[in-house]
Amino acid sequence: MVNRTLLQSSRRLRVVGIVSSIVNDVCGTDMSIGANSATQRILETLDAIMTNASSSQTAFIVEVMGKTSGYLTLASGVACDASMIFLPEWPPQGDWKEELCNKVRDDLLIRQQGLMIIKSEGATDVQGQPITAEEISKVLREKLKIISQITVLGHFQSGGVPTAYDRLLGIRMGSEAVLLMKDGPLDACIVTIKGCEMGFMSLEKCLGFTNATEKFLAEKDFSNVVRRRGKNFQCLLSSYVLLHSMRSSPVSSMAILAGIRRVGIIQVGMDTLGQCIVCKAFVGYCQSRGYAVIGIKDGFEGLLRRQFIPLSWDIVKNWTSENDCLGSGKQAAEHYQLDSLDAAVNELNICGLILLGSFSAYESLCTLYEARLQYKNLGIPMCMVPTGILNNVPGSDITVGCDSALNEYVTYCDKMTRVAHASKNYVYVIETMCENAGYLTTLAAVCSEADAAYISLEPFTLNDLLKDADHVKRKIQQSGCRSALILIGTNSSEFYNTDFVRQLFAEEGKGVFSCKKGVMGHVQLGGHISVWDRQNAIIHGFRAGEWLLNYVDNVPVSPEGILYDPGPNAKVVLSVSKRNIKFKTIARLICETDFGTQNPTFNWWMKLRPLLRVMAQHFDVEYELEISDDTSAVSDVEDTNMYDMLNEQHKHSHG
């Protein structure tokens, strides 16, 4: 019976929505649960098709889901560098058949691999007439005499194993929704994500944006559609346009030595998946601006030996999965004679430099910044693009390569969980290669629902280990759980290493569970590049090139003929902060760096550590609401020039 008192206390029903849609068609959030996994599934299929296409003269036309949203088409098209994509939000502005033929002719001239054309279910021309895969095939056959094959992926895209990104997104959104039900606003709202930061917005505002977008789409007001899709969509669309503005224009070694204005790119530290794609995007952008690019081999050691290769779109156009595109330089700049580096830069006559790498590259940029006043040639503009699996570069929330490594971690943990579950009452202590960082260990533990994760950034004691061992023991005895995972990073503790932890758990669990050890090792460095890393690599390569060339164009040349800027603004790190790409000066970031542990002084993912304990049913911790009212959704639709700018780029490249 519902009495009056209970009715009065529950007059308002709290409603919190979680967006789950593989086509990512809800405005107000960068991503919805399932979209990343669907895109990854499409990309794996496209990679398999491209293997076949590269050995034949066949064009492949792939249709993916999305009647009113082209996110899947756009994201997969950018990631695999498709010959052409057809979106509901951005139809070809003129005769799409002529544009298709032009793009395919261009690709036939410069590509060694096959042709890939991707279309959304709801793709139309500018008049709103549907564009079908059969029509595209007919155009290729009749106008270009090209044989084509049509593949409709259908609901295959919505199946399979979720990516680490989607697992983490689902766990975070679910947790925030519970807390919003408890302490959030009385009005109905939805949980959103912008970059790496959670947020929420009113359900009314979200539905208003989404319904308005569909209304603009029906009215063929495509500029407003693109604006309301948000910055993430706009950034991907701009990257696609830039990719297809590249032209084959080989730059020979003799041309480089003859004095064409040129910039360099160098890799410092460990090889990482995705670095080659950053290099590809950077080279393509520089070439479109009339600059030559030289790739310096084997880091600073190669610079001293003057080992470099001229890079052009012809060379890098098919770089997608190569790890060692430039050769890794194992040591930072501080280990070399700075006067020798100064002489090498002068001899190569480069006017700007891009550094790829993790903390070693960051330390190198710090060294070169401090040396700029004494060595004039080291005063050229420099930009570091963070890459690496550890995600420990100050100033940036995410690095290229860490998402691919996280997927490898989660896959490995899934296998260990299945083995432990089949064996009954097994606990696996898994060692992760994270050095002094803890990003991969923490997020892999959250995604795999591990019972504990030990890292050096959160010191632990013997008492903590005993409590966790007792928790696992009681969990197996009382809840019917048949397995458990414990993750521990290398260098987590001077005394409590992986073997010690395994032996302690084995001793404490005698008669209840057995304990085994697993070591991931260098397997995390390999595997497939995730769709998230591919997208970020392309975007970061373009943005780094844009910053560097704009800066070079505005730096005066000294009377000695040296391009020299001793100011702090000439040495920057490309930083992904929340959802924005910024260029932070190294002078500012030094204050935010813990050089002892080689980490930023603040890590956004540390606030997920309590969530890890909660998911493992440790009820002695509390997970606090990490989000605030999201007012940034309005700013997504304020970029009134974006659509016009994209059209101008498009016309310029295909006019």
Looking at the fold, whether 375 and 273 belong to one and the same domain comes out as: yes
**Mean of the pLDDT values across residues 486-501?**
92
Total number of domains in the chain: 3
Of residues 103 and 629, the one with the higher pLDDT is: 103
Residue 348: give the domain boundaries.
262-400+530-599
Task: Identify whether residues 67 and 90 lie together within a single domain.
Answer: yes
Among 2-11, 199-208, 252-261, 397-406, which is the least confidently predicted range?
252-261
pLDDT in tens, 118-149: 999 999 998 889 999 999 999 999 998 888 88
In this structure, what DSSP letter does residue 641 have?
A: T
Domain at 411, CATH number: 3.40.50.460
Is residue 81 situated within a structural domain?
Answer: yes
258: phi then psi, degrees, rounded to nearest 5: -80, -10
Residues 473 and 487 in one domain: yes
More confident call, 486 vs 424: 486
How many residues does the structure list for the chain? Answer: 655
8-31 in b/e form (b: 16+ CB < 10 A) is eeeeeeeebbbbebbbbbbbbbbb
pLDDT recorded at residue 6: 62
Cβ pair 325, 355 in contact under 8 A: no
Packing angle between helix 642-654 and helix 222-229, nearest 10 degrees? 110
How far is it, in rounded angstroms, from Cα 537 to Cα 422?
39
Query: Which of residues 618 and 357 earns the better pLDDT score?
Result: 357
pLDDT at residue number 64: 94
DSSP symbols for 326-382: S--B-S-GGGS-HHHHHHHHHHHT-S-EEEEESHHHHHHHHHHHHHTTT-GGGGS-E
- Residue with tokens 């002719």, as numbered in its chain: 105
Rounded distance between C-alpha atoms, residue 585 and residue 568, angstroms? 6
Residue 648: pLDDT band (50, 70, 90) is low
pLDDT exceeds 50 at position 639: no
Q: Which of these three, 599, 614, 645, is where a domain ends?
A: 599
Parallel/antiparallel/unpaired status of strands 571-577 and 580-585: antiparallel
Residue 171 lies in a domain: yes
232 part of a folded domain: yes
Same domain, 218 and 339: no
pLDDT band at 638 (very low <50, low <70, confident <90, very high): very low
Which is higher by pLDDT, 237 or 253?
Answer: 237
CA 419 – CA 599 distance, rounded (Å): 34
- Amino acid, res. 141: R
What is the structure's pLDDT at 634?
A: 39
Q: Which two tokens stand for residue 16?
A: 């919190």
Q: Is residue 623 one of the residues assigned to a domain?
A: no
Whether 278 is in a domain gets the answer yes
Residue type, 359: F
What Å distances lie between residue 70 and 24, 66, 233, 592, CA to CA?
A: 9, 6, 9, 39
Report the C-alpha gap between 78 and 236 in whole angstroms: 7
330 and 221 inside one domain: no
Average pLDDT of the segment spanning 11-23: 86
The answer as to whether 215 is a domain residue is yes
Give the pairing type, strands 308-311 and 197-202: unpaired
Across the range 528-548, mean pLDDT stands at 92
- Is residue 504 located within the same domain as residue 543? no
Residue in 369, 375, 520 with CA at minimum distance from that of residue 434: 520
Q: Say if residues 439 and 541 touch (Cβ distance below 8 Å).
A: no
Domain of 333: which CATH number? 3.40.50.450
Mean pLDDT of the chain: 85
29 in Cβ contact with 192 (< 8 Å): yes
Quick one: tokens of 168?
A: 């983490």
Rounded-to-10 torsion of CA 270, 274, 275, 278? -160
**pLDDT tens digits along 301-355:** 889 989 999 988 878 877 776 555 777 767 777 778 889 999 999 898 899 999 9
Q: Does residue 254 register a pLDDT over 50?
A: no
Classify 179 as helix, strand or coil: helix
- Is 474 in the same domain as 540? no
Q: What is the pLDDT of residues 194-212, one digit of tens each?
A: 888 888 999 999 999 999 9
Asked, for residue 324, whether it belongs to a domain, the answer is: yes
Residue 255 has pLDDT above 50, yes or no: no
Q: Is the pLDDT of residue 183 over 90?
A: no
Q: Kindly report which listed range (108-117, 268-277, 344-353) carries the lowest average pLDDT score.
A: 108-117
Cβ distance 434 to 524 under 8 Å?
no
Residues 422 and 501 grouped into a single domain: yes
Average pLDDT over residues 71-84: 90
Q: Which helix (H) or strand (E) holds 417?
A: helix 402-423
Give the pLDDT confidence score for residue 633 in this predicted structure.
41
Given a contact cutoff of 8 angstroms between Cβ atoms, the answer to whether 82 and 117 are in contact is: yes
Percent pLDDT > 90 in the chain is 45
For the ranges 48-62, 160-174, 201-215, the lowest mean pLDDT is seen at 48-62
Structure-block tokens of residue 631:
């007012």
Q: What value does the mean pLDDT take over residues 263-288?
A: 89
Shared-domain flag, residues 271 and 315: yes
Residues 172 and 30 in one domain: yes
Instruction: State the pLDDT confidence band at 191, using cuts at 50, 70 and 90.
Output: very high
* pLDDT higher at 406 or 271: 406
Last residue of a domain, one of 480, 504, 525: 525
What pLDDT shows up at residue 250?
Answer: 46
- Does position 360 have pLDDT exceeding 60, yes or no? yes
Tokens of 501: 């932890």
**Given the structure tokens 């086509």, which residue do they identify?**
23
Q: Is residue 494 very low, low, confident or very high in pLDDT (cuts 50, 70, 90)?
A: confident
Is 352 part of a structural domain of the chain? yes
Q: Is the pLDDT of residue 654 over 70?
A: no
pLDDT tens-digit readout, 561-617: 677 788 889 999 999 887 788 999 999 999 999 999 999 999 999 999 999 998 888
Most confident listed range (109-113, 260-264, 283-287): 283-287
Same domain, 273 and 378: yes
Q: In this predicted structure, which of 3-17, 260-274, 379-393, 577-591 has the lowest mean pLDDT?
A: 3-17
Q: Which of 484, 500, 525 is the last residue of a domain?
A: 525
Instruction: Give the pLDDT confidence score for residue 627 in this predicted structure.
Output: 60
Asked whether residue 504 carries a pLDDT value surpassing 70, the answer given is yes
Q: Is the pLDDT of residue 472 over 60?
A: yes
Q: What is the pLDDT of residue 2?
A: 56
Residues 272 and 298 in one domain: yes
